[in-house]
Amino acid sequence: MPYFNCTQEIGKLDLVPEEFHGSKSQAGVVPSTSTAVGISSSRVADNTGESSSSETCKSNYEKLPDYLKSCLDYSSFVTKRHPVEIGKLVRLLLAEGLIQDKPGDSMEDVAANVVKELIDLGMLQEVHDGTEVKVPASYLQLSILKLEKQYFVSKTANSPVRLEIRDDGRDIFPNVEGRLVRSLFIITAERRHYSIGSTGCLSRAYMRNVCGMRFLLVLDLDGKIAYLPDEVGDLIHLSYLGLANSDLDELPRTLGNLQKLQTLDIRMCGKLSKLPIEVLHIQQLRHLLMSKSFDDCEIRVPEGIGKLVNLHTLSGIYGGDGIARELSALTQIKDLGVKRVSADHASELFAAIKKMESLASLSLEAERCFFEETNFTLFPELDAFSPPPLLQEFYLHGGLIEIPMWLASMENLTRLTLSFSYLSENPTSVLQLLPKLKHLSLWEAYRAKLIGKEFCNAGGFPALETLTIASEFLVEWTEIATGAFPSLRSLSFSCCSSLIFLPEGLQNISTLQELHLGSLHPDLARRLEGEENYKIKHIPKIFRVLLPF
């Protein structure tokens, strides 16, 4: 299936086709190792992101089985301008029908394994602490070269296409007559205001044109959307509906007509306060994403949410008003995020989570989780909480008296975020013992002004690759023990405006590839340019943001 880019600069389609290898893979399930598909075991990209020769890339690409080639081509389409969240890529691959069923595994697991396989082959590159991916420049270039050699556009009426519209604000909908548009991505980041008083959002007429594309499988309207017409309910083939970051204040009740919908993404929709009850009619819904900023009210779900037994992802939900009790029916959930956890429903919520034996990712946010140390609430009943054994990602936002001791038993944990915990005791005395922990973020988690080598003992954090520390309290990190952080690749200091000393021993972490210094104090900046430059000169990439003193 070809795809097309469209700009509004000329009021018509600016066609840039790329032939995909079928909307569905024709290959059966094959072994997920590079050796099995005849590809060199050495990665295509090295640690700095530099690719090997184009001939190697071309050879590796041609050796891919069809199912991987299709997914790589599609990934090139969705990541050609910026990285994409891994979870979103997985959901899009499923909606596009590019993933084949594998007995015994969920479709999400199969898709995630395909993404991982492409990462292992160096054909997808992890960025942003491993939460997003992009296709390396070498493979994007390969796609362009392929276009130059095979430059043609099918003129057949109703030829299925994927379409991306880069809208600049003139509300000119492109002429797609004779095209069977199956996937539509509207990019509004470059949208400008062309009239006084304009909201900058897509017009109602524009949105009605969008909803006239009756055969859409994927509709991603991330951004400047303030109105979703009732006609969206006519898109009965829709599998993916992305409305993240929009200005919508309500959703049409006709959403209940979308019986094939798998993903509804309404994250960061600040004006949206509730879901229509008709959403409960979408029995095939697998991913309901509703997360907002810490200080935004949650999106309320209707009573009966426990009937959506196919849900795989449920984020940004409020557990009060009896909802926590309903969650106990959703034992198949693998990704759960709950806002405003409070004493009135904590015990029911934790009991429900305990039943979710397949849960891999969990986010819990306290009732008041703000940015001021004096304006937050402690997590209720957290000592009695028992996390599911397979949990790999854990995000805990809110005040803690002490680090929960059960964290020490989470041997499968690979990613941990503690934010606004305001602990008075060092949390890493427990955390550094976790054998699989790869990514750790501590956002206002520890109130210490000074940390020493006890922060990580020799051999501590054996698998940790990225460490982020954000603290208005931290002034000095005195020393890193010899042999600490044996796998660390990226170290970030964010919002550490009082930090004036980096640790002695930083120069001994030979694995370190990136150092991020946000809100860099001028005294520290001068020291790193002068007498303490030896601590950081071995690090290939250093990013600095100076404070405006």
Give the residue from 149, 177, 209 where a domain finishes: 149
405: helix, strand or coil = helix
Domain annotation covers residue 39:
yes
- CA angle, corner 23, sides to 51 and 134, nearest 5? 25
| Alpha-carbon gap, residue 221 to 267, rounded angstroms | 12
Residue 297's pLDDT is what?
Answer: 76
Residue 174's pLDDT is what?
Answer: 79
DSSP state, residue 462: T
- CA angle, corner 390, sides to 389 and 395, nearest 5? 95
Residue 42's pLDDT is what?
Answer: 38
* Pair of tokens at residue 82: 């910026």
Domain annotation covers residue 475:
yes
DSSP string, 137-172: HHHHHHHHHHHHHS------TTEEEEEEEE--SS--
Residue 374's pLDDT is what?
Answer: 58
Clarify whether residues 52 and 84 are in a common domain. Answer: yes
Where b means 16+ CB within 10 Å and e means fewer, 89-127 reads bbbbbbbbbbbbeeeeeebbbbbbebbebbbebbbbbee
Give the residue from 99, 132, 149 where a domain finishes: 149
Clarify whether residues 4 and 63 are in a common domain. Answer: no
Residue type (1 letter), 154: S
pTM of the model: 0.87
- 8 Å CB contact between 503 and 484: no
Clarify whether residues 128 and 195 are in a common domain. Answer: no
Secondary element (H or E) of residue 336: strand 335-341
| Alpha-carbon gap, residue 405 to 76, rounded angstroms | 44
DSSP string, 21-73: S-SS--S-----STGGGT--SS-SB-TTS-B--HHHHHHHHHHS-HHHHHHHH
Clarify whether residues 504 and 538 are in a common domain. Answer: yes
| Total length of the chain | 549
Of 235, 231, 230, nearest to 215 by C-alpha is: 235
Domain annotation covers residue 388:
no
Of 88, 70, 76, 94, nearest to 16 by C-alpha is: 76
Per-residue pLDDT of the chain (549 residues; tens, 9 = 90+): 655 555 443 333 433 333 333 333 332 222 233 333 445 433 444 444 444 567 888 889 899 999 999 899 899 889 888 899 999 999 999 999 999 999 989 999 999 999 999 999 999 999 988 899 999 988 887 766 665 554 344 455 556 788 888 877 677 787 777 678 899 999 876 544 444 444 578 889 999 999 999 999 999 998 788 999 999 999 999 999 999 999 999 999 999 999 999 999 999 998 999 999 999 999 999 999 999 876 667 899 999 999 999 999 999 999 998 999 999 999 999 999 999 999 999 999 999 999 999 999 999 999 876 555 556 678 888 888 989 989 999 999 999 999 998 999 999 999 999 999 999 999 999 999 999 999 999 999 999 999 999 999 999 999 999 999 999 999 999 999 999 999 999 999 999 999 999 999 999 999 999 999 988 999 999 999 999 999 999 999 999 887 665
Domain annotation covers residue 404:
no
Residue 190's pLDDT is what?
Answer: 54
Of 505, 518, 394, 489, nearest to 455 by C-alpha is: 505
* Pair of tokens at residue 170: 């003139």
Residue 25's pLDDT is what?
Answer: 31
Clarify whether residues 138 and 23 are in a common domain. Answer: yes
Residue 326's pLDDT is what?
Answer: 95
Residue 5's pLDDT is what?
Answer: 55
Domain annotation covers residue 385:
no
User: How many domains does the chain contain in total?
Assistant: 3
DSSP string, 186-206: EE-TT----STT--SSPPHHH
Clarify whether residues 171 and 82 are in a common domain. Answer: no
| Alpha-carbon gap, residue 114 to 37, rounded angstroms | 13
* Pair of tokens at residue 382: 């957290």
Clarify whether residues 100 and 203 are in a common domain. Answer: no
Q: Tokens 């070498």 correspond to what residue?
A: 138
Q: φ and ψ at 221, to 5 degrees?
A: -115, 35
Residue 330's pLDDT is what?
Answer: 96
Give the residue from 124, 149, 174 where a domain finishes: 149
Q: φ and ψ at 257, to 5 degrees?
A: -75, -15
Clarify whether residues 124 and 192 are in a common domain. Answer: no
- 8 Å CB contact between 246 and 226: yes
Domain annotation covers residue 77:
yes
CB atoms within 10 A of CB 27: 16
Cα–Cα distance list, 97 to 62, 70, 263, 397, 412 (Å): 22, 10, 13, 36, 31
Clarify whether residues 132 and 202 are in a common domain. Answer: no
Clarify whether residues 157 and 282 are in a common domain. Answer: yes
| Alpha-carbon gap, residue 403 to 51, rounded angstroms | 43
List beta partners, residue 366: 341
Q: What is the CATH number of the domain that holds 196?
A: 3.80.10.10
Domain annotation covers residue 108:
yes
> Which structural domain range is residue 509 located in?
448-549
Domain annotation covers residue 377:
no
Clarify whether residues 27 and 132 are in a common domain. Answer: yes
Clarify whether residues 33 and 2 are in a common domain. Answer: no
Residues 6+ apart with CB under 8 A from 64: 37, 39, 72
